[in-house]
A and B are shown apart, each in its own frame.
Chain A
Amino acid sequence: MLTILPFILSISAHVTTTIEKGLNSGSIDRTINDKETEARARTAELVRAAKSGSEQARNDLAQQIRDPAFYFALQLLGNREDAMDVTQDSLMRFLGSLDRFEEARPVLPWVRRIVRNSVIDLQRRKSVRRANSLDSDGYEGESLEVIDLGSDSSDRAVNHERRKIVWNSLADLPESQREIVVLREYQDLSYQEIAALLEVPIGTVMSRLHRARIELRAKVLNRLEENELEGLL
């Protein structure tokens, strides 16, 4: 009997920690949700204040939106200068359209729509220089900041190289394929969100995405081959 006791104790300890883990992860989820709700409420408050004419609220809103708008524009255009222009225009359009916006709605989808329209306008105005080479501005080593997943530096270099190749291959895609890849892979939008933004059915999103992914894979493999990095993917 005494020999089984440690065994039983360890099992009960295990069960307790498992239950605790479960509870904790639940509370972590709740904290994240709370934070999201809080952030959304704060933004809604800002929109309300901005609509009623607070200059400070307008500035704070613009401040909050600028980075996400810039990243999205950069991903769509692949060109840093143009992305900055589009961001500036989008912020102005955004502030100019505040009156038509309900504060309860999330702001980002609306910003994305404005940025996308600005990008389309820009592309109409001029054929945008596209980043096709590794040394074009915006994504060269020092501009592309990579979140470090690997612990040692060779891992880091490999990860960086891979991300750079994927990013550069994006420039080889036609506009509409590039867009869908950006929306799904870089912006991480759901099919529903993409369908709403592009105003197309979900089926279209899926097939367009699939074709774009096949194309991107081919471009990535091409670039890997060119750089003699075949095993990298």
Chain B
Amino acid sequence: MAEHSCGLEPSEAENEELFSGLIDGVLTQADAQRMRLRLESCQGCGAFVEELRTIRANAQATSFKTPEADSWDERPIGAASRFLRTFGWLLVGLWLVINVVLVVRMDEISTTALRVLLGLSFAGWAALLLSVLIDRLKNPSDERYRRVVR
């Protein structure tokens, strides 16, 4: 790592505006000149600014993959819908487990417990339905939306 011969660390408070200002090109001519001299005379400062510039250049050159157009269509919209969707799927999962249990150990289960479990499974399906309904209401023209994407 390059040493500082200027005696000032870039992390010192009074330098804040000078370093960032230089990188972002917003310094006054006088300040810019002062910084140029400093970077020329101090290897540490020169390397520091170069590194910050490289980081910035890399950040700016980064591009991100856009989600597939289809992946937006079936997503729940809004916190309420998302909650219902998750809750719904959980209960539907439970429903499947219950079915398996029912088939396997039919005799040992009391009718009250059975009713509660059945009720829960219906609630699961209802929650899912409600979640889809909410999204439809919020986004009525899904079809057209989709057409524009493609």
Interface residues of A (CB under 8 A from B): 55-56, 59-60, 62-63, 66-67, 70-71, 74-75, 80, 84-85, 88-89, 92, 125, 139, 142-147, 149, 159, 162-163, 166-167, 181, 184-186, 188, 191, 203, 206-207, 209-211, 213-214, 216-217, 220-221, 233
Contacts and interface: CB of A to CB of B under 8 A. Distances in A.
B56 interface: yes
23 contacts: A55-B144, A59-B145, A59-B148, A67-B66, A74-B64, A80-B67, A84-B67, A85-B75, A88-B72, A88-B76, A144-B64, A145-B65, A162-B54, A163-B58, A163-B61, A163-B62, A188-B60, A206-B16, A206-B17, A211-B16, A213-B55, A233-B51, A233-B54
B16 A210 contact: yes
B61 A56 contact: no
Contact of B55 (A63, A125, A216): A216
B77 A88 contact: yes
Contacts of B55: 166, 185, 213, 216-217, 220, 233
B5 interface: no
Contacts of B64: 71, 74-75, 139, 143-145
Contact of B65 (A62, A143, A185): A143
B78 interface: yes
A71 B66 CA distance: 8
B90 to A, nearest CB: 17
A210 B20 contact: yes
What size tier do the contact residues of chain B reach?
Answer: 35 or more
Interface string B10-31: 1101011101110110100000
B149 interface: yes
B144 A56 contact: yes
B62 A144 contact: yes
Given A66-B72, A146-B61, A206-B21, A213 B52 contact: yes
A196 to B, nearest CB: 16
A171 to B, nearest CB: 13
A184 B24 contact: yes
A56 to B, nearest CB: 7
A147 B149 CA distance: 23
B62 A146 contact: yes
B19 A63 contact: no
